[in-house]
A = this chain, B = another copy of it.
Amino acid sequence: MFKTITVPKRTIMTPGPVEVNPKVLQVMSNSILGQYDPVFLDIMNEVKELIKQPFGTKNEQAFAIDGSSRSGIEAAMIAILEKGDKVLIPAFGRFAYLLAEIAGRCGAEVVLLEKSWESPFAQQDIIEKVKEVKPKLVAMVHGETANGQIQDLDEIGAYCQANDVLLLVDMVATFAGVELKVDEWGVDIAIAGSQKCLSVPAGMSLVTFNKRVEKLIKERYQLELGLSKDIRNERFIQSNYLDLSQLMNYWNEERINHHTEATTLVYGVHEGLRLLLEEGLENVHRRHLLNNQAIVAGVKAMGLEIFGAPDTKMPTVTPVIIPDGVDALAVPRLLLEQFGVEIAGSFGELNGKIWRIGNMGYSSRHENVLAVLGALESVLIYYGADIQVGKAVKAALDVYL
């Protein structure tokens, strides 16, 4: 017979999932409401409005999807892409390949534009490729958590808007940590998640899209059998669960039954977004920038190197090059087991080459930054790494004080 779980206290400094604001957990412990309870519908309507602000959009369509961030990414991709459609995917990190994976699985023709993971693209390079390939969709990542680089989007967006190309952007790792301007940049559809800078438990994805996308998915609308046998569509979206056209009708006033909404996560997302606006988005972004500065200063003061171009580094992730002779897995393990501090490794070609220190949402606090720097230094000392001792925490304090 298993016992009720016991959860140890952790300082989570990974690029997600991050620590959840205790106020969010408190709100999530409210009792359940039925999914058509008018009180719950009001909460859903407020969530729709709240989502728009960190995205920087006045889009009519903004809602949540019951699944982790990648459920939203897949929903967005398959809503736009039909078999044989051409999609251009500029890749400067791991998560672009997730976009390619999803596109491939829905039968799209994928054109990858690849570069080294150390920096993002010059926007003009992508625009040139768009001119050459003439895709229906450009799908890309704003902030690549795997390597900590961030991509400018405004010129790409402007080109896509002017040339009948759609632009989909994965903003999972920047939403609520970095200023986003979905409308101004010309992004047609953007996706975020609950478990990073929003500081809500994983399990919910957020999406917003403009009239161009709305028109397209309305053309593909197919209501499920069992509600109606008459609303069939030859261009139906290949997933029923992740069908944005049905989800839109569920979140909008039509309230057409689809899934059973994840009540508790909706409560959490509502409170997470509310707390964000209460703090003020500008203050939130400033806090992330300051803590990023302290992390970078601390890491460098230890004599460690940071992966990638400094000018385009995301403030929400710091990729630290693993020093020679140190076991890539042993360090995070000891950090977690002895200090209760969690950092992350990476993926693909960076697996075993960098550690990633997150700086996201509720985890982005002075005490967490100081804890991770102090603990990392101690662990590196313990394993005999060749580092500068006694400097990291002071460097961070110098940023703060």
Which single residue of chain B is at the shortest CB-CB distance from A229? B97
A278 interface hit (Cβ, 8 Å): yes
The residues of B that contact A262 with a CB separation of less than 8 Å are: 68, 201-203, 265
- Near B by CB (< 8 A), chain A positions 20-59 give 20, 22-23, 25-35, 37-39, 43, 46, 49-50
Write the nearest CB–CB distance from A110 to chain B, whole angstroms: 9
Interface readout for A11-27 with B: 1 if CB under 8 Å, 0 if not? Answer: 01010111110110111
Q: Assembly of this chain: how many copies? A: 2
B-chain residues with CB within 8 Å of residue A270 when the two chains form the complex: 2, 5
Q: Does A239 contact B (CB under 8 A)?
A: yes
A166 to B344, CA, bound (A): 41
Contact check, B267 vs A5: say whether CB atoms are below 8 A apart. Answer: yes
Report the interface size class on chain A: 35 or more
Q: Which of A184-242 contact B (CB under 8 A)?
A: 193, 195, 201-204, 224-227, 229, 236-242
- In the complex where A94-B226, A224-B97, A226-B95 touch, is A25 in contact with B34 (Cβ < 8 A)? no
Contact of A239 with B32 in the complex, beta carbons under 8 Å: no
The reply on A162 being an interface residue by CB < 8 A is no
Contacts of A66 in B (CB 8 A): 66-68, 71, 202-203
Instruction: Check A347 for interface membership: any CB of B closer than 8 A.
Output: yes
Contact bitstring A363-394, B, C-beta under 8 A = 1, else 0: 00000000000000000000000000000000
State in angstroms the CA–CA spacing of A39 and B195 once bound together: 19
Q: List 10 A-B contacts (CB under 8 A).
A: A5-B271, A10-B37, A34-B344, A68-B259, A68-B260, A98-B225, A193-B260, A201-B263, A238-B238, A264-B268
Which A residues contact B (CB, under 8 angstroms)?
A: 1-5, 7-10, 12, 14, 16-20, 22-23, 25-35, 37-39, 43, 46, 49-50, 66-71, 74, 94-98, 100-102, 104-106, 146, 193, 195, 201-204, 224-227, 229, 236-242, 257, 259-265, 267-268, 270-271, 274, 277-278, 336, 342, 344, 347-348
